[in-house]
C-alpha cells in the first residue's frame, strides 16, 4: 500500500472532528474523517490539555480513515499526514496512531526548549520520582506498567520530562504502548481498554500478529487516578536491561557512570546545550542510580518496591 503514488486530496475531504492538544506548550491539531477514530485518539490522549481558545497549531496530523473503520475498501486505505506531507498508508487504524506518535516525538525533540526530555519511563511513589531510561527492547514500558500496578503513580512510559529550574519530574501522560500485552494476562482481555489488533481468544494462535503489533492503553483505564498530578524530585535513576534468563538485580552506579548513561538517553540535548549538561549533573548528584536486570515485569516491579520502599514479599 505504501507504494501507491496518488495520495488523498486533503482539501476535498470531510473532516468530521478535530482537537488541538497542548504538548509541553506546543500546539498540535489532530483531525480525522472518522469521528469514531478521533474518539479513540482522545481516549488515549485525554490527560493532555485541550486548547480552549482558537490558537494557530504548530503541527497538524490528519487521519484519513477508510470506511468501515476496521477494513480497507478503496485503493488507498487508511492514511496519516503530517501537515500536508503523507507519512504513510496503513491497513489497520491503530498503526496510524503509532505513526503519529513517532512523528510527535520527533517534533518535540526538535522544538521543546523549556524542559529536558529523556527517553525513559517514569513513575513516582510516596513523593519519590523514579526514571527508567532505556532504548526500545529494554523492557521499560512493561516495567513502568508493572510499577503502576505496584501502587506507583504514572508519569510516562517513554518520555520523562524534567523541569530545568526545579529539576523535578512532571507527567507526560501519553498512553502505554506495549508490544506484547499478554505478559499482563489479568488486563489483556478488557475489551474497552486496549487500542490495537483484536486479541485472539487463544493467544498462541495469534503470535505472529502480536509480534508485529503494538497495543495502546490509557493508564487511567488500568488504575483509578493513575497519573501523577504534581511534580516530584528524581530520587532514583534505574537503567533496565532485559534478560529472561537472569534474576532481578540492582547494581549501583557512580555519578560519572550514571551521567554517561543518562546522556545517551537525552532526546532534546541540542535544544538545551550546556544547561542540559548541568541539569544532568544535578540529577545524578541528587539521585541514587542503578542498572537493573529485568526478567519479567511483574516480578521485577515487586523486587524494586521491596528494595526501594521496603514492601513485604
Residue 197, in any domain of the structure: yes
Query: How many structural domains compose the chain?
Result: 3
Q: Name the packing angle between helices 274-286 and 255-263 (round to 10°).
A: 140
Cβ atoms 47, 220 nearer than 8 A: yes
Residue 5, in any domain of the structure: no
CATH code for the domain in which residue 260 is found: 3.90.228.20
List pLDDT tens digits, range 15-30: 999 999 999 999 999 9
Residues 16 and 162 in one domain: no
pLDDT, one tens digit for every residue, the chain (313 residues) = 344 445 788 999 999 999 999 999 999 999 999 999 999 999 999 999 999 888 999 999 999 998 765 444 455 679 999 999 999 988 888 899 999 999 999 999 999 999 999 999 999 999 999 999 998 778 899 999 999 999 999 999 999 999 999 999 999 999 998 887 778 887 877 656 778 766 544 444 444 444 567 889 999 999 999 999 999 999 999 999 988 888 999 999 999 999 999 999 999 999 988 899 999 999 999 999 999 998 889 999 999 999 999 877 6
Q: CA dist 150 to 145, 223, 227, 230, 299, Å?
A: 9, 11, 14, 19, 10
- Domain hosting residue 258, numbered range: 116-175+223-309
Name the residue among 239, 196, 238 with its Cα closest to residue 218.
Answer: 196
Residues 291 and 185 in one domain: no
All 3 cell numbers of residue 102?
Answer: 513517532
Cβ atoms 86, 100 nearer than 8 A: no
Residues 120 and 103 in one domain: no
- Angstrom distance (rounded) from CA 59 to CA 34: 20
- State what percent of residues in the chain have pLDDT above 90: 69
Amino acid at each position: 500500500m505504501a507504494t501507491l503514488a496518488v495520495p488523498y486530496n486533503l482539501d476535498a475531504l470531510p473532516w468530521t472532528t478535530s482537537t488541538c492538544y497542548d504538548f509541553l506548550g506546543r500546539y498540535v491539531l489532530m483531525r480525522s474523517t472518522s469521528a469514531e477514530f478521533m474518539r479513540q485518539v482522545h481516549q488515549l490522549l485525554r490527560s493532555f490539555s485541550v486548547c480552549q481558545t482558537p490558537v494557530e497549531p504548530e503541527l497538524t496530523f490528519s487521519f484519513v480513515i477508510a470506511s468501515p473503520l476496521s477494513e480497507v475498501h478503496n485503493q488507498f486505505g487508511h492514511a496519516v499526514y503530517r501537515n500536508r506531507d503523507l507519512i504513510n498508508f496503513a491497513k489497520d487504524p491503530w498503526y496510524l496512531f503509532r505513526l503519529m506518535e513517532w512523528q510527535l516525538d520527533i517534533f518535540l525533540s526538535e522544538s521543546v526548549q523549556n524542559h529536558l526530555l529523556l527517553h525513559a519511563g517514569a513513575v513516582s511513589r510516596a513523593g519519590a520520582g523514579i526514571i527508567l531510561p532505556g532504548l526500545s527492547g529494554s523492557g521499560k514500558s512493561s516495567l513502568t506498567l508493572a510499577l503502576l500496578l505496584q501502587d506507583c503513580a504514572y508519569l510516562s512510559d517513554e518520555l520523562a520530562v524534567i523541569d530545568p529550574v526545579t529539576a523535578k519530574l512532571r507527567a507526560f501522560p501519553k498512553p502505554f504502548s506495549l508490544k506484547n500485552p499478554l505478559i499482563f494476562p489479568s488486563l489483556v482481555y478488557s475489551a474497552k481498554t486496549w487500542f490495537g489488533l483484536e486479541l485472539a481468544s487463544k493467544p498462541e494462535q495469534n503470535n505472529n500478529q502480536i509480534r508485529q503489533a503494538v497495543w495502546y492503553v490509557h493508564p487511567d483505564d488500568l488504575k483509578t487516578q493513575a497519573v501523577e498530578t504534581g511534580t516530584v524530585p528524581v530520587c532514583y535513576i534505574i537503567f533496565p536491561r532485559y534478560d529472561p534468563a537472569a534474576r532481578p538485580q540492582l547494581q549501583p552506579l557512580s555519578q560519572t557512570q550514571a551521567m554517561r548513561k543518562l546522556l545517551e538517553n537525552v532526546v532534546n540535548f541540542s535544544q538545551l546545550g550546556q544547561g542540559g549538561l548541568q541539569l544532568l549533573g544535578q540529577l545524578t548528584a541528587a539521585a541514587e542510580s542503578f542498572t537493573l536486570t529485568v526478567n519479567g515485569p511483574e516480578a521485577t516491579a515487586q523486587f524494586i518496591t521491596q528494595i526501594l520502599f521496603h514492601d513485604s514479599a
